[in-house]
Structure 1
Amino acid sequence: MNRRTFVAGAGAAALGLTGTAPVGAVRDGSSESHSSERADGTISIRVLNWNIHHGTGMDGVYDLRRIADLIARSGAELVALQEVDKHLASRSDCNDQPQRLAERLGMHVDYAANITEYESTCDRQSRYGTAVLTAQEYPILDSEHYGLPSPQVEEGAYNEPRGLQETTVQIEGERIRFYTTHLDHLFERRRVAQVEAILDATADVSDPQVITGDFNATPGSRPIGAVTDEYVDAFAVVGNGDSYTYPGVYTDAAPEKRIDYVFVSDDVSVDDAGIAEETLVSDHLPTVADLRIRRSA
C-alpha cells in the first residue's frame, strides 16, 4: 500500500511522512493567501484536487462540513472538485453544494453540470458535475464547459455524460487556465476518446494551464500516457508518482491505486505534490500540489 502524505504548511520535508495535516480554522474572506511572488518572479500557488463523492464518506455519513474543513486545512487557493451535487434530494438533502462550500470557505465558485436530467423533489432543477473554488483575492474571469465524447463500446452499458470545466482565474495580475474533469469509469476506450477531446480543447492556449481531475485511469495507462505527452504529472515530477488516491481510508479499506491527478503546462513548475490527508470523508483522498507560475513577459 503506497501512500505519501503532504502535510499542509510543513513544506517540502513533509512529503513521504504519514499522518494528517494540522487542524486549522475554516477560511474566511480575511484569510491571508499562501501564494506569493518569489525572488525569481514566479508566483507560488497551492492547488487541491478532490473527488468529494457528493459529500458522503466511507462511513456512509453525508456531511459537507467535513469536506469544507479539510479544504480549509489544506490552505489551497485553487480547488477542483468532482462529484458535486446541486439540489439532489436522494443523497444530499437538496443542498446547493458548490454554493454552500463557497460560502463556508469564503471563496469564489464556478460550477459545471454534466447531468441535468434528474427527476427531483427539490424545488430547483437537480444537477451533478464539477466545481472550482478560488480564493477571494483571485477572481474568476471566465468559464467554459466542454462536453466530452462517450462512445458506446458495449451494448446496454451505462453511459454517463462527461465534461471538461475550464475556469480562467486572475492571480497576481496573471491569467491562469484551471481545468477539471471526471472521466468514464467503465471503459478505457471512452477515456482515451475523452482525453483526446481534452487535449484538443486545451491546445494552443498561451496562458499557464493546470489540469486536474479524477481520470479513472492509473499511471502508465493509455489515457494518462496521452496526457503526459503534453503535460507534466505533478506527483511524478517530485518522485511521488506511486501515491494511491482511491479508495479512501476506512476500517479494512485502504488506497489501492492512483486515479486522481494534477497536470501542469511547461510554464508551471512543481515544488511539492502529494496526498493532503488520509481521510474517510470521501471515497477518494484529496491531492495537493504547490506550484510556481512564471509571469508573462
Structure 2
Amino acid sequence: MTAVTDDPTAGQDASGASDTARGAPPPAGRWPLRTRALVAATALWALFTVLGYALSGRWWLWLLPDLAPPPFFLLVPAVLLALTWWAVPVRRWLTAALVLLLVLGAPRAGVNWSALTPGGGPVAARGDTLKVFSWNTLYWDSSDDPGEFYRYLKAKDADVYLLQEYLAWEDDGPQEIDELARIRAEFPGYEVEVLGELVTLSRFPVVATPPVGPSRAPGSGGPWREVFARDKVLRTDVDVRGRVVSFYNAHVPVQLDIERSPLSGGFYRTVRERDAQRRAHFAALEKDAAANTHPVLISGDFNTTPSMRDIGGLRDTFRDALPASGDLLPGTWNTAGLGLWRLDWTFTDDGLRVHRYAFTDPAGLSDHRGQDLLVSLAP
C-alpha cells in the first residue's frame, strides 16, 4: 500500500526547487514580466513621439516636454530595440514598431548627417570671405575677469560679432550695464550697435538698423527694462565691399522661469506668456528676413532645440549652416554638462555661402558654445 503524505515538498526534485522556480514558462496567455515592461516602455515612447509631432509649437504646455535632450529621439528607441531579444512572443512586431520610431526620431535628434557623407563638413572658400562670431556671453563680463573676457573676444578676430546677454543679472533680474567706452577701446575701427541685451560689432560700415517686429531702432530711447523685454532681434545692414548684407542678431526668450516652483501657478503662467512672446519674435523675424532683398545671415541663441517645431519656419525658409560643420552631434548648451542641447543656430539665404561652421569652447566664460563662421557672398 502506498502511504498518503501531506509533505509540502512533494513534487519537488532533489534540490528542493519547484517547477516555477526552475524557470518553467508562465501560464498560457501571459507574457513574462520583462516582455510586458518592454512593451509598456515602447508604447510610452511612441505616445511621447506622436504627441510631440502633434503638439510641439502648437500648445504652450508642450514647451516643457520639448526640453528633452534631442539625442534621446535616437537613443531611447535604439536601446529598446537592442532589448527586443528578450521579448520572444512579440519580438517581430515590437522590432518593426521601434524601427519606425527610430525613423520618426531621426529628424528631431539634432544629428549632423552631412558629417557622415563624403565631402560633408567645411568647404574650401574662394575669393573674399567674412568671419562671423555669434555667442551668448552669459551676462557679458559681470561674473568673469573683464580682461580675460575681452581677450577671448578679440582672439576670434571676426569681421562681425553678434553677441547676446549684454547685461548683468542680480537678485531682482536683468540689469543694464554700460561698457560702450570699453568696447570701443578694445575694438578700434569697429562700428557698434546696441539694442537692449544685443550687441553687434562690424568692421564694415553700418548703413541701417531697421526695427524688426515690435523692436525699435537702436538709440530710439525708452527705459532699458522695457527695451530688454521687447527687443530680441537686432538687424544691422552692413556694407561689405560694396554690397549690403543684413545680419540678424537674435535671442529668443527661454521657455520657463527656473526660479519658480513647478508646483506653483506662476510657473505655468510664465510658460504660457513666454510661449506667446516666442511666437511673436519668431514670426517677426521670419517675416522681415523673408522680405529682405539683401543677403541674409540670422544667428543667435534661440532657446530652441532641433526637436521643437518653433524653429520650423526658419528651417523651411533659410539654410541651416550645420552642413558646413564637422560635428556629428552638435550641442551648444550646457558646456558644464554633456552639452546635449543645440540652442544656438545660424541661417543664411542664397546670397551667402557658408564655408566653415564651428562650435567653439567658451573657455569657462559662458554656458554656451560660440558659433564661428566663415562665409562669402554668392555671385
Q: Identify the TM-score tier after normalising by the shorter chain.
A: 0.5 to 0.7
AA aligned opposite 2:138: H
What is the RMSD of the two structures over their aligned residues, measured on CA atoms? 3.6
2:310 alignment counterpart: 223
Q: Is the 8 A contact 1:192 1:222 kept in 2?
A: no
Distance of 1:99 and 1:14 partners within structure 2: 39
- Of 63, 84, 89, the residue aligned with 2:145 is 63
Q: Is 1:112 aligned to residue 180 of structure 2?
A: no
Cα deviation, residue 194, structure 1: 1.9
Q: Is the 8 A contact 1:243 1:274 kept in 2?
A: no
Q: Secondary structure at the match of 1:146?
A: coil
1:180 alignment counterpart: 249
Q: Secondary structure at the match of 2:313?
A: helix
Which structure 1 segments of 5+ residues have no match? 3-11, 16-36, 114-128, 150-158
Distance of 1:99 and 1:179 partners within structure 2: 24
Cα deviation, residue 95, structure 1: 4.7
Q: Is the 8 A contact 1:52 1:67 kept in 2?
A: no
Q: Is the 8 A contact 2:136 2:165 kept in 1?
A: yes
Cα deviation, residue 188, structure 1: 4.6
Distance of 1:148 and 1:241 partners within structure 2: 37
1:131 alignment counterpart: 199
Higher relative contact order (Cα pairs below 8 Å, separated by 6+ residues):
1
Q: Is the 8 A contact 1:62 1:92 kept in 2?
A: no
Q: Is the 8 A contact 1:185 1:216 kept in 2?
A: yes
Pair 1:14–1:294, CA change in 2 (3 A): closer
- Of 95, 100, 108, the residue aligned with 2:182 is 100
Distance of 2:328 and 2:213 partners within structure 1: 29
Q: Is the 8 A contact 2:208 2:237 kept in 1?
A: yes
Q: Is the 8 A contact 2:324 2:355 kept in 1?
A: no
Pair 1:196–1:14, CA change in 2 (3 A): closer
Instruction: Single out whichever of 275-284 and 178-187 deviates more from structure 2.
Output: 275-284
Cα deviation, residue 104, structure 1: 0.5
Which structure 2 segments of 5+ residues have no match? 1-68, 72-118, 216-227, 256-273
2:163 alignment counterpart: 81
How many residues are paired up? Answer: 232
Give the strand-richer structure, 1 or 2: 1
Distance of 2:165 and 2:366 partners within structure 1: 10
Cα deviation, residue 91, structure 1: 9.7
Identity of aligned residues (%): 21
Using structure 2 for the length normalisation, give the TM-score: 0.54
2:290 alignment counterpart: 203
Give the helix-richer structure, 1 or 2: 2
Equivalent positions of 1:114-263 (< 5 A) are: 129-135=197-203, 138-148=204-214, 160-186=229-255, 187-188=274-275, 190-238=277-325, 240=327, 242-249=329-336, 253-263=337-347
Using structure 1 for the length normalisation, give the TM-score: 0.67
Q: Which runs of 4+ in 1 moved over 4 A?
A: 12-15, 90-95
Q: Is 1:51 aligned to residue 120 of structure 2?
A: no
Q: Is the 8 A contact 1:84 1:97 kept in 2?
A: no
Distance of 2:180 and 2:318 partners within structure 1: 28
Q: Is the 8 A contact 1:162 1:184 kept in 2?
A: no
Pair 1:220–1:226, CA change in 2 (3 A): farther
Cα deviation, residue 147, structure 1: 4.6
